[in-house]
């Protein structure tokens, strides 16, 4: 069996490590996390249902005026200044959730 010289092994090992690192990096960068958009909402209408409040909210996404409907706690909405935010998926602005100021930030994907 032929003996391999250390002069050959070290550059070959470095090249192999670079190629493996490049493949891992490309695989990792291909799986991008979808970001969530968040816009200030204007309450267009509201309906009380027990302790909840059904809100129709207008918001602007991608330069377009849109509307969505969601349910929030009536007492929380009142206590937090009657302010509402709309979390939406920038790729599909019909996927929305309502967020009050003290709620957790918008999650990925809307």
Rounded-to-integer distance, Cα 31 and Cα 19, Å: 19
Q: Could you read off the pLDDT of 40-93 as tens digits, one per residue?
A: 999 999 999 999 999 999 999 888 999 999 999 999 999 999 999 999 988 888
Domain spans of the chain, in order of start: 37-99
Q: What is the CATH number of domain 37-99?
A: 2.40.50
**Of the candidates 79, 88, 34, the residue with the CA atom closest to the CA atom of residue 59:** 88
Output the pTM of the full model.
0.64
């Amino acid at each position: 069996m032929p003996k391999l010289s250390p002069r050959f092994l070290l550059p070959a090992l470095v090249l192999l490590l670079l190629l493996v690192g490049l493949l891992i990096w490309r695989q990792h960068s291909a799986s991008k996390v979808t970001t969530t958009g968040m816009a200030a909402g204007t309450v267009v209408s509201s309906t009380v249902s027990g302790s909840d409040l059904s809100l129709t909210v207008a918001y602007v996404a991608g330069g377009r005026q849109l509307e969505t409907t969601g349910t929030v706690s009536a007492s929380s909405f009142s206590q937090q200044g009657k302010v509402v935010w709309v979390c939406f998926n920038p790729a599909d602005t019909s996927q929305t959730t309502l967020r009050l100021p003290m709620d957790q930030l918008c999650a990925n994907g809307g």
